[in-house]
Amino acid sequence: MDTGRRVYSELDEEKKMAQALSQAIKLVGAVGVLATHLRKNENKRATLEDIKGNSHLAYSAKVVIGVFNDAKVKRNKSQVMWDEIRRDGSVVAMPILEAHFLKAKTSDYNGVICFKQWPALGRVIEPDDPAEQKSLQDLVFGGV
């Protein structure tokens, strides 16, 4: 039975929000960076489909990057670590932060960039040397 009343639609609200946000970003000539929750994904690397709720934001976004830290998920059982050699010669296993480009309308790049991470300092660095980047990616993907 049609009552003539408009039915609330979460999808309509998401679309309106994404459009308004996009217009505001264009108006001021800024870059918009948004964080979102993921659906429960059993602590695995996210896909575009794992973005919780606002699928319209993911659809309208120019770039979507999923960030993953295996050491945070697996704690001491993580094998995705790089070795920092200290001045005294000691070796400390440090985590690798992964940036998975899930969508990139502005570039042909479709892959993963790995960053060396120093958690206690809140610091991450992307290696400049392509060979070093490849060695981090080999650690992430098991040399495949």
pLDDT in tens, 9-60: 666 777 788 888 888 888 998 888 877 767 666 667 878 777 765 567 777 7
Q: Is residue 1 situated within a structural domain?
A: no
Look up the domain containing 41 and give its range.
8-61
Residue 144 is predicted with a pLDDT of 47
Residue 43 is predicted with a pLDDT of 67
Q: Is residue 2 situated within a structural domain?
A: no
Using the predicted structure, report yes or no on whether residue 137 has a pLDDT greater than 90: yes
Q: How confident is the prediction for the chain on average, in pLDDT?
A: 83
- What's the CA gap between 142 and 115, in Å, rounded? 16
Do the beta carbons of residue 17 and residue 58 sit within 8 Å? no
Residue 72 is predicted with a pLDDT of 86
Residue 110 is predicted with a pLDDT of 81
Using the predicted structure, report yes or no on whether residue 143 has a pLDDT greater than 60: no
Shared-domain flag, residues 111 and 43: no
Using the predicted structure, report yes or no on whether residue 118 has a pLDDT greater than 90: yes
Angle in degrees, CA 112, 113, 117, rounded to 5:
130
Of 103, 113, 31, 39, residue with least CA distance to 65: 103
Residue that wins the pLDDT comparison between 85 and 9: 85
What 3-state DSSP class applies to 44? coil
Shared-domain flag, residues 53 and 22: yes
Structure tokens of 10? 């979460």
Shared-domain flag, residues 56 and 66: no
Do the beta carbons of residue 18 and residue 56 sit within 8 Å? yes
Q: Is residue 3 situated within a structural domain?
A: no
Shared-domain flag, residues 92 and 144: yes
Shared-domain flag, residues 102 and 85: yes
- In the chain, the percentage of residues whose pLDDT exceeds 90 is 35
- 33 contacts: CB under 8 Å, gap ≥ 6: none
Of 46, 45, 48, residue with least CA distance to 56: 48
Using the predicted structure, report yes or no on whether residue 136 has a pLDDT greater than 70: yes
- In the chain, the percentage of residues whose pLDDT exceeds 70 is 84
- What's the CA gap between 85 and 134, in Å, rounded? 19
The gap between the terminal CA atoms of the chain, to the nearest Å, is 58
Structural domains in the chain (count): 2
Shared-domain flag, residues 57 and 68: no
CB atoms within 10 A of CB 18: 19
